[in-house]
Amino acid sequence: MAQVASIIGGGVIGGGWAARFLLSGWDVQVFDPDPEAERKIGEVLANARRSLPGLSDVALPDEGRLSFHSDLAEALKGASWIQESVPERLELKHKVFADIQALCDPAAVIGSSTSGLKPSELQQGVARPEQIVVTHPFNPVYLLPLVELVGSAANTPERMAGAKSTLERLGMFPLHVRKEIDAHIADRLLEAVWREALWLVKDDVATTEEIDEAIRMGFGLRWAQMGLFDTYRVAGGEAGMKHFMAQFGPCLQSPWTKLTDVPEFTDELVDLIAGQSDAQSGHMSIREMERQRDDNLVGILRALKAQGWGAGAVLGAQDARLKAGSDLAGYAEEMVDVSRPIVTVRRAVPLDWTDYNGHMNESRYLQSFCDASDRFMELVGCDADYIASGGSYFTAETHIRHLAEALAGDRIEVRTHLLMGEGKKMHLLHTMYRGEEPVATGEHMLIHVSLETRRPSAPSARIEANMARITAAQAELPRPEGVGRYIGAPR
């Protein structure tokens, strides 16, 4: 049975939380008096369905059930996690918490998305202060892993550990802020940059676009994968951080910044910044900008995942959790029904797999079928240990047929039919499906080789026995359409 999350407040952040929970397999119940809430969250979800599954190289859980409620009691029914994302007014949050605690399960976690308020402030005057914690995410919540987890003396270590575990299972990175402080950690850093940027615009040193270029063309790229201190450690060269601080520390005494001085927020300053911002990116709608942002983030995050670095390491750990909990887990061949084509891949199409036509690039079909061959090899015994011992399969010939389009966010599944497996040869037919619609087929002939001589060789007795068993089990299956077909041959 799916776990239930209640989302109280369905704005940009609340909608992002709804998407994160929903696409992680939770049922989501939304309470928001805004008559446009369902439309707004629907648009956020459309972006999330297109982008979030593509961060993973294994299938996400089946999507949960989404519902909208005008009655708070119905929205809270059965919820083990309640996420509050109402406007940043303490008196409003206190009223919302009082209403929630009068109706919810006392064991449920109540997380607040507050970007600046301390948990002890949120807990003042409530019935169960230990139930409320700060869980401050970053937009878009469905893609960015960071969530600042902040508690007070009222929160037990067990409750904090439970909240941390739930957030990790959502694929997030809960950063435990050990001491209460206004604006936590990340927003204090953002505020410093924001203040300095306001001065640069006000003093006509730079435009909004020039400031954005300075960040996205330079240190923003370094920060994305190394953060601040590791970046400066590298900048210190072989001598490291001490050298960097000795070299640049005196600059802190120079009047480079105005961090302790805040420009007056006059109408003129607001108009100046808003006008420059409109000139910079006003040619795009907000939804278009969101989709472009998501495309860029997915590309960056997947690149980091390939290196197992920074936020990418969090994605890799989530993939491992999802794989361990899926029906593709485990390599024991006796666990798999071999009497029918075997599911060897189940995943979503990532954004960076698509081309200028808006559908999956040809090379990614081959990658999916290569992944399917690798999985089938594991099932028959040609796993990592076997390959390390000196034996493997090389692909000798491949033929791919494209039957339908696969688009970003589509969930695809590859089912593998062993056409022949004897001696040194393995003849596979992979069929890619979207639901039950065939999208493509890949016919492959693989040859067993010795990695020492790089020449064909006989596989182990275990592999031969497993292939014989699967061949016999699939012997009565109808021959797949398209087998043996070459370019230009009639169907």
**pLDDT tens-digit profile of 377-399?**
999 999 999 999 999 999 999 99
- The reply to whether 342 and 419 lie within a common domain is yes
Helix, strand, coil percentages, rounded to 5, for the chain: 45, 20, 35
- The reply to whether 361 and 214 lie within a common domain is no
Distance, in Å, from the CA atom of 9 to the CA atom of 114, rounded to the nearest integer, reads: 12
Tens digits of pLDDT across the chain (491 residues): 789 999 999 999 999 999 999 999 999 999 999 999 999 999 999 999 999 998 999 889 999 999 999 999 999 999 999 999 999 999 999 999 999 999 999 999 999 999 999 999 999 999 999 999 999 999 999 999 999 999 999 999 999 999 999 999 999 999 999 999 999 999 999 999 999 999 999 999 999 999 999 999 999 988 988 888 888 888 888 888 887 778 777 776 777 777 778 788 789 988 998 899 889 888 988 889 898 899 889 999 999 999 999 999 999 999 999 888 766 554 444 557 889 999 999 999 998 899 999 999 999 999 999 999 999 999 999 999 999 999 999 999 999 999 999 999 999 999 999 999 999 999 999 999 999 999 999 999 999 999 999 999 999 999 999 999 999 999 889 988 889 888 876 66
Distance, in Å, from the CA atom of 127 to the CA atom of 99, rounded to the nearest integer, reads: 10
Alpha helices in 154-310 (DSSP H): 157-169, 186-202, 208-214, 220-226, 229-235, 240-248, 267-281, 286-307
133 assigned to a ligand binding site: no
Q: C-alpha angle 363/367/373, rounded to 5°?
A: 145
Q: What residue has token string 């990532």?
A: 350
- Classify residue 304: in a domain, yes or no: no
Distance, in Å, from the CA atom of 298 to the CA atom of 258, rounded to the nearest integer, reads: 35
Q: Which residue among 134, 158, 184 closes a domain?
A: 184
Our CA dihedral for 388, 391, 392, 393, rounded to 10 degrees, sits at 180
- The reply to whether 244 and 135 lie within a common domain is no
Closest to 352 in 3D by CA, of 410, 407, 298, 402:
298
Distance, in Å, from the CA atom of 2 to the CA atom of 13, rounded to the nearest integer, reads: 22
* Total number of domains in the chain: 3
The tally of CA atoms less than 13 A away on the side-chain side of residue 428 is: 33
Distance, in Å, from the CA atom of 105 to the CA atom of 94, rounded to the nearest integer, reads: 18
User: Range of 111's domain?
Assistant: 4-184
- The reply to whether 107 and 236 lie within a common domain is no
435 assigned to a ligand binding site: no
- Classify residue 320: in a domain, yes or no: no
14 assigned to a ligand binding site: yes
Distances (CA, A) of 118 to 16, 18, 94, 153, 192: 22, 23, 13, 12, 19
Beta bridge partners of 420: 427
- The reply to whether 27 and 124 lie within a common domain is yes
Closest to 114 in 3D by CA, of 128, 138, 134:
134
Residues 6+ apart with CB under 8 A from 471: 418, 420, 421, 422
- The reply to whether 357 and 457 lie within a common domain is yes
Q: Are strands 342-348 and 411-422 parallel, antiparallel or unpaired?
A: antiparallel
Distance, in Å, from the CA atom of 112 to the CA atom of 109, rounded to the nearest integer, reads: 10
Q: Which residue among 124, 157, 184 closes a domain?
A: 184
User: CATH number for the domain including 348?
Assistant: 3.10.129.10
- The reply to whether 149 and 21 lie within a common domain is yes
Q: Which residue among 184, 216, 245 closes a domain?
A: 184
- The reply to whether 50 and 168 lie within a common domain is yes
- The reply to whether 8 and 120 lie within a common domain is yes
First to last CA, the chain: 45
Residue pair 429/441 in contact (Cβ under 8 Å)? The answer is yes
Distance, in Å, from the CA atom of 134 to the CA atom of 139, rounded to the nearest integer, reads: 16
Distance, in Å, from the CA atom of 249 to the CA atom of 246, rounded to the nearest integer, reads: 5
- Classify residue 301: in a domain, yes or no: no
10 assigned to a ligand binding site: yes
185 assigned to a ligand binding site: no
- The reply to whether 88 and 15 lie within a common domain is yes
- Classify residue 213: in a domain, yes or no: yes
12 assigned to a ligand binding site: yes
- Classify residue 63: in a domain, yes or no: yes
**pLDDT tens-digit profile of 36-86?**
999 999 999 999 999 999 899 988 999 999 999 999 999 999 999 999 999
Burial of 371 (0-12, 13-18, 19+ CB in 10 A): middle
User: CATH number for the domain including 112?
Assistant: 3.40.50.720
DSSP, collapsed to helix, strand or coil, labels residue 108 as coil
